[in-house]
């Protein structure tokens, strides 16, 4: 017996498979399915030629976020954490927490770049990666709570006119369409007043707090809809916490019971301050209890 025959006996993977031609993974046997797959591949190739895109993080071609960078972003958001310790506006002088906050990840690397591109560069397709990360943070914060009102923080009037959309509303809307937040209710109840609430980029803690104070109200047609309801404020980025504090004030004034807040990303403590972190990635008081 030759060497090749002995090898085939020892290793079944080297044996000849009887029957027809080679079998390939991922090939559909149904003609319609094969046609749909081919048409989809052709469309993606044509789109890459007519409207070429690059990964917003590493610059590789043909994808707004390449597979490697998308994996890194998911890793950054795989362990939500309590983040109010990084937001001075959410703490008293003695360190007492005014509003607990759960963040999906730290505002850095792929998460920061993807969020910036989504908000300011018109990369709407990044919602397919950012929305699940926000959903993970929400579920980590509220657990199995049902009947919870998720109240998105609205964009300022100037930002909405500039972008044409509200990032938080878009992400939450995608999660709702995917039925990724069962038992929760999306309450688009807040609106911003024109004027002082607009334009906070580059401002310090005190100036941010003064800008947003009194800048949010509950929509007239929705007054009473939050009465006695457990509410969780949702925003995209946590910096000083002034915006979340103002949103919580407006919801509380409308009768809502604010249990805490959730953000997609949290920045590092401002001005290098080493503020304490909050603890486990869950809001401290059961929203189910507050709903009863």
Per domain, the residue ranges of the chain are 74-291
Provide the angle, in degrees to the nearest 10, between the axes of the packed helices 109-120 and 67-76: 110
What is the arithmetic mean of pLDDT over 92-114? 94
What sign has the CA pseudo-torsion 133, 135, 136, 142? Answer: positive
pLDDT at 35: 72
What is the arithmetic mean of pLDDT over 278-286? 59
What is the arithmetic mean of pLDDT over 173-200? 82
pLDDT at 155: 87
What is the arithmetic mean of pLDDT over 257-281? 69
Q: With contact defined as beta carbons under 8 Å apart, do 154 and 217 qualify?
A: no
Calpha distance 287→231 (Å, rounded): 8
In CATH, the architecture of 74-291 is: 3-Layer(aba) Sandwich (3.40)
Calpha distance 57→125 (Å, rounded): 14
The half-sphere exposure of 203 on its side-chain side, counting CA atoms within 13 A, is 18
What is the arithmetic mean of pLDDT over 106-112? 95
Residue 212 pLDDT exceeds 80: no
What is the arithmetic mean of pLDDT over 236-254? 94
**What is the DSSP code string of 78-90?**
SS-EE-GGG-GGG
Residue 203 pLDDT exceeds 70: no
What is the arithmetic mean of pLDDT over 115-143? 93
Percent of residues, the chain, with pLDDT higher than 90: 48
Residue 131 binned pLDDT confidence (cut-offs 50, 70, 90): very high
Q: With contact defined as beta carbons under 8 Å apart, do 148 and 291 qualify?
A: yes
What is the arithmetic mean of pLDDT over 186-206? 66
Residue 28 pLDDT exceeds 70: no
Residue 163 binned pLDDT confidence (cut-offs 50, 70, 90): confident
* Residue that wins the pLDDT comparison between 290 and 245: 245
pLDDT at 192: 87
């Amino acid at each position: 017996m030759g060497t090749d025959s002995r090898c085939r006996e020892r290793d079944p993977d080297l044996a000849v498979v009887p029957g027809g031609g080679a079998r390939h993974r991922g090939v559909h046997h149904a003609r319609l399915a094969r046609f749909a797959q081919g048409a989809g591949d052709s469309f993606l190739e044509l789109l890459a030629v007519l409207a070429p895109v690059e990964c917003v993080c590493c610059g590789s071609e043909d994808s707004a976020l390449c597979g490697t960078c998308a994996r890194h972003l998911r890793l950054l958001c795989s362990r939500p954490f309590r983040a109010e310790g990084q937001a001075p506006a959410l703490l008293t002088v003695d360190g007492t927490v005014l509003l607990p906050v759960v963040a999906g990840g730290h505002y850095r690397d792929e998460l920061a770049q993807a969020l910036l591109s989504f908000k300011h560069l018109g990369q709407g397709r990044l919602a397919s990666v950012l929305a699940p990360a926000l959903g993970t943070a929400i579920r980590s914060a509220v657990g199995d709570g049902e009947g919870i009102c998720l109240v998105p923080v609205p964009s300022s009037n100037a930002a909405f006119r500039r972008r044409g959309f509200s990032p938080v509303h878009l992400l939450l809307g995608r999660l709702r369409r995917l039925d990724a937040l069962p038992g929760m209710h999306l309450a688009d109840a807040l609106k911003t007043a024109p004027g002082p609430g607009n334009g906070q980029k580059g401002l310090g803690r005190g100036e941010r707090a003064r800008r947003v104070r009194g800048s949010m109200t509950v929509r007239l047609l929705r007054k009473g809809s939050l009465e006695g309801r457990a509410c969780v404020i949702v925003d995209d980025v946590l910096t000083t916490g002034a915006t979340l504090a103002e949103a919580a004030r407006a919801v509380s004034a409308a009768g809502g019971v604010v249990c805490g807040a959730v953000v997609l990303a949290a920045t590092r403590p401002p001005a290098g301050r080493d503020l304490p972190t909050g603890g486990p990635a869950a809001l401290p008081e059961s929203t189910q209890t507050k709903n009863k």
